[in-house]
Amino acid sequence: MPRAVAYLKCSVDIGAKLYLKINLRMSTKSCILAATKEAIILQKFEKWQGCGNDFILIDRAENKIDEPEQIRWLCDRHFGVGADGVIYVLNSQKAATRMRIFNADGTEAEMCGNGLRCFARYLLSGDKFFADDDLTVETGAGILTVRMKHNLITVDMGEPIFNADQIPVDGFGSQKLVAEPIEVDGKTYKMTCVSMGNPHCVVFVDDISAVDLEHIGPKFETHKFFPRKTNTEFAQKIGENKLRMRVWERGSGITMACGTGTCATAVAANLNGLTGKKCTVILDGGVLQIEWRENNHIFMTGPAEKVFEGEF
């Protein structure tokens, strides 16, 4: 059994209350508790989810980021808190606030639409820092504007990027890739590639239930076409301006939803003549509304909910 490290909040009667750092080593044959009288500072966090895509939100006014090993532990659903990623609430010199997001494997992502909705709802609800319904957020994909109305969060996700070398997709120059053949695991698919600040490869299928996402997802992610790897969305048209989508997220694997991936899928569906500019996308964890407006910006509307709070 792998080593697990847990921080337990304890108090002992030695004239003052102390926090004990408990180093817990587990093996198949023994459990050894080694306690040291070492004062530690517990970090508060909140767990949020948007359409089942869940995140640990940490407020770091000093703009400090944890080491990848700590992020992986936090996201571990067996030994940590459990999440698809960790989001840091930081100060910004360019916007009202700044968001940095890290995948479950400890790597940093440029953007995350569901994460941004959770981030905004965290700041715009309760006794948090912002009372306005609008919020500007500095992200790895630029400064984005978020609005909350009737507990739904609408995000201006910016403009989609189609040039292959900017997504990036190798071997196609600045070409726009719509229904472009790609061979993965001995089978030819048709991919439409879009960047929403992070790379997406969208594949439309006749029967989404027949897609073995756990098997094929990582093969798309690490395909030679994608120098920075890619997020992969499989989608099926199920009605007028309505799609069913599943996603393999770069650095996280199968998730219940992906905001940027939903936007990329809606854009790709329009480019392939499957939908109009407004689209409803049904995900494993919920429903998002996507609109591609005349100013070329993509707007995403959906929920974000607090799950619980705690300390580590």
Three-state DSSP string of the chain: CCCCCCCCCCCCCCCCCCCCEEEEEECCCCEEEEEECCCCCCCEEEEEEECCEEEEEEECCCCCCCCHHHHHHHHCCCCCCCCCEEEEEECCCCCCEEEEEEECCCCEECCCHHHHHHHHHHHHCCCCCCCCCEEEEEECCEEEEEEEECCEEEEECCCCECEHHHCCCCCCCCCECCCEEEEECCEEEEEEEEECCCEEEEEECCCHHHCCHHHHHHHHHCCCCCCCCCEEEEEEEEECCEEEEEEEECCCEEECCCHHHHHHHHHHHHHCCCCCCEEEEEECCEEEEEEECCCCCEEEEECCEEEEEEEC
- Which listed residue (51, 75, 201, 258) is catalytic? 258
Task: Give the length of the chain.
Answer: 312
Q: At what angle do helices 113-124 and 259-271 cross, to 10 degrees?
A: 130
Q: Is 201 a catalytic residue?
A: no
- Which listed residue (51, 75, 112, 279) is catalytic? 112
Q: Is 112 a catalytic residue?
A: yes
**Cα Rg of the chain, angstroms:** 21
Tell me the catalytic residues: 112, 258
